[in-house]
Structure 1
Amino acid sequence: MKHTILCVIAILTSCNSTTNTKQEMPTSVTADSATVISSDSTAYSQPYDSTSIDGTTAATAINKVSFNGTLIVPPQNFASVTMLMGGIIRSVNLLPGSYVKKGTLLASLDNPDFISLQQTFLESQAQTEYLKSEYNRQLVLSKEEVASVKKLEQSKADYLSMKSKMEAAAAQLSLLGISTQSLLKNGITPALEIKAPVNGYIGKVKVNVGKYLNEGDILCEIINKQETLLRLTTYEKDLKDIRLGAKVWFRVNGMGTKTFEAKLISIGQEVDETSRSLEVFAKVISEDANFRPGMYVTAQIEKD
């Protein structure tokens, strides 16, 4: 009898121990799960833009609208050097990324038509001077009734015709950057010199010595980065939240978490029929030497 009682006690003790063990295990799992959730919550509770940009601007994310876009330069600061006359490249002084000043020699090219144009101007200029003198002489004679009216009229027509020919040649030379005063003083220039129209950095060079370029071909592009703009894509539903003069805070792809400032200066007036989007432009206030046209940006525009 005593032996039976001892067995029953042992069995009850074993069952109780097993029950306690099963109850404790979920407690451990629950604690581990709570730790994981808490860690995830800390990692994602602060959005990328909200944390850094709000810390800089002292504004709350709820008072901003976020957009994507690119860096650009104004059209007046972006020049395409276009050939007004075709020819074979004789020399070239172009290196992408290098800085040039307005008037810097970029390249020279050979074209017989360029030499002929200079010759036409010089000949017509000399003929114009002679015909002008002849016209003035006939004018004096006609007043003295020595010369006929027909001769006077013919002399006048010859003079005006040659003058217009000279002026046309001078205008063409001016478009090519050739000074007629220099041409009269120094004579014919064998090669056409192409010079930089603006200050800026060279980009997209596609020429080499000996290559033939047609009239209208682009020699290179010159980018003046003195003024930089943001071109952002917005949507019609956002129009109520943006206004001219609003502050814009943006980051540039590849430049880390550094935040830059801009000011909204233009809102597009046409909505794309497919995407229902439109473009807005902001003038960059905090410029950086590393800015390049075409760089991707993420921006926030402050609401009213």
Structure 2
Amino acid sequence: MTVVQARTEAVPISFTYTGTIISQQDAALQARVTGEVTDRPFEPGSHVKKGQLLFRIDKRPFEVALAQAKAQEGQAKAQLQFAQAEVVRTDTLADKGYASEQRLQQLQSNAASAAAQVQGAEAAIARQSLNLDYAEVNAPFDGRASLSIINPGDLVIENQTQLVTVVQVDPIDVQMALSSEDSEALREAMQTGEVTVEVLDDAGKPVRTAKIYQLDNRFDPRTARRLVRALMQNEDERFLPGQFVRARVTLGREDKLLVPTIALSARLAQQIVYAVDDQGIVRQKPVTTGDSYGENTSILAGLKPGERIVTDHLEDMRQDMKVEVRSPQKEASNGMAQDGGGSRDDR
């Protein structure tokens, strides 16, 4: 029979959540003018650069409308010039008594109306110039474009047709919804030390690190959770927006009493260990267990540091049984090192 001593060791203070990958910049590009797509000079699903042309919509209707607006502007300016000249001439005549005040007021009104027509024509020019700009759809930032079903020849409708989405993929965020307890622990840890976030693979092994940089300003009253975001480098684009991941948040280290997990047995829904005293007598001890750390489990109550715990032949152990104790050659082989980190898993 082999025994090990229950020992107090420093272990990570951590908790694990299911997180969601969020892009810092995520844009859904819609058509801002109605017209036929004449060109799509990018490959859907590819990387795009800020300012890169993605779609070109037929400009000819807007060029015609712009020319018409400029012509209307010229006509309006000519009418304004004539109306202002009439006001000047009539004002001189009115001073000499050769024109009525009513006539002068009428001409002043005509000049004001002509000025408004000039402003309307200028607004029409600005609008058609804007439509010409909108006829070319460019990438708003560096990122990856989505697949798109819009092809040259398709008719797109202003503010209705979605052309493509563009998302930033490097760096990228991991978003988690923390419980109030863990949120408070995180707040305290961020004031006194460094907090680390590790994204885990399916086997629970860390594959990427992230750094918390945003905390929401409230708890969601429906879930009593607070959103936090951690920034993560993603050059290989292993993680994409909308993906679910496991993330472990470590707040520091604390001392805990550990025993090998294999030393635990269950009796009537109660976890127990078999302790051996100095006379070699087996004592059955109910214990309260905490988090797991690699091959070890923390003991919250029921044991004291230094007590010897049976780690094999547990099915043969009985209360008050006399046994011969055999210590392992190296206690470290019992897995007392706990670098694997424990976690309060998925609140």
Question: Shorter-chain TM-score: what band?
Answer: 0.5 to 0.7
Deviations 1:40-78 (A, max 9, x none): xxxxxxxxxxxxxxxxxxx833x112212122122xx22
Structure number with bigger Rg: 1
280 and 289 in structure 1: CA distance in 2 versus 1, 3 angstrom threshold: same
Deviations 1:180-223 (A, max 9, x none): xxxxxxxxxxxx33233333321232211222222221111122
Shift of 1:143: 4.1
Match of 1:242, SS? helix
163 and 101 in structure 1: CA distance in 2 versus 1, 3 angstrom threshold: same
Select 1:103's aligned residue among 51, 57, 70. Answer: 51
Alignment of 1:239-278 (within 5 A): 239-243=183-187, 245=190, 247-251=195-199, 253=201, 257-267=206-216, 269-273=218-222, 275-278=223-226
Q: Is the 8 A contact 2:39 2:57 kept in 1?
A: yes
Alignment of 1:1-304 (within 5 A): 60-61=11-12, 63-74=13-24, 77-110=25-58, 114-115=62-63, 117-145=65-93, 148-149=103-104, 150-171=106-127, 173-174=129-130, 177=133, 192-216=135-159, 217-243=161-187, 245=190, 247-251=195-199, 253=201, 257-267=206-216, 269-273=218-222, 275-284=223-232, 286-290=233-237, 291-303=239-251
User: In 2, distance between residues paired with 1:254 and 1:145?
Assistant: 94
Match of 1:145, SS? helix
Match of 1:129, SS? helix
User: In 2, distance between residues paired with 1:224 and 1:143?
Assistant: 65
The TM-score with structure 1 as length reference comes to: 0.63
Match of 1:60, SS? strand
User: In 1, distance between residues paired with 2:122 and 2:75?
Assistant: 9
Q: Is the 8 A contact 1:250 1:297 kept in 2?
A: no
User: In 1, distance between residues paired with 2:196 and 2:87?
Assistant: 72
Match of 1:258, SS? strand
109 and 73 in structure 1: CA distance in 2 versus 1, 3 angstrom threshold: same
What is aligned with 1:45?
A: none
User: In 1, distance between residues paired with 2:195 and 2:211?
Assistant: 6
The TM-score with structure 2 as length reference comes to: 0.56
User: In 1, distance between residues paired with 2:34 and 2:69?
Assistant: 19
Shift of 1:164: 2.1
300 and 133 in structure 1: CA distance in 2 versus 1, 3 angstrom threshold: same
212 and 164 in structure 1: CA distance in 2 versus 1, 3 angstrom threshold: same
User: In 2, distance between residues paired with 1:128 and 1:199?
Assistant: 44
302 and 172 in structure 1: CA distance in 2 versus 1, 3 angstrom threshold: farther
Mind listing any 5+ residue stretches in structure 2 that lack a counterpart?
A: 4-9, 253-347
User: In 1, distance between residues paired with 2:85 and 2:177?
Assistant: 71
What is aligned with 1:186?
A: none
User: In 2, distance between residues paired with 1:270 and 1:81?
Assistant: 31
Shift of 1:242: 1.8
Match of 1:70, SS? strand
Shift of 1:233: 2.4
Q: Is the 8 A contact 1:92 1:106 kept in 2?
A: yes
Q: Is the 8 A contact 1:233 1:278 kept in 2?
A: yes
**More moved, 194-203 vs 137-146:** 137-146
Q: Is the 8 A contact 2:28 2:162 kept in 1?
A: yes
144 and 287 in structure 1: CA distance in 2 versus 1, 3 angstrom threshold: same
Computed over aligned residues only, the root mean square deviation of the Cα atoms, in angstroms, reads 3.3
Shift of 1:83: 0.9
Mind listing any 5+ residue stretches in structure 1 that lack a counterpart?
A: 1-30, 39-58, 179-191
Shift of 1:139: 4.1
User: In 1, distance between residues paired with 2:187 and 2:148?
Assistant: 40
288 and 198 in structure 1: CA distance in 2 versus 1, 3 angstrom threshold: closer
Match of 1:243, SS? helix
Task: Name the aligned partner's letter for residue 177 of structure 1.
Answer: D
168 and 248 in structure 1: CA distance in 2 versus 1, 3 angstrom threshold: farther
User: In 2, distance between residues paired with 1:144 and 1:226?
Assistant: 72
Deviations 1:237-278 (A, max 9, x none): 4332222846232225589742313124213513252x4434
User: In 1, distance between residues paired with 2:175 and 2:28?
Assistant: 21
Q: Is the 8 A contact 2:146 2:165 kept in 1?
A: yes
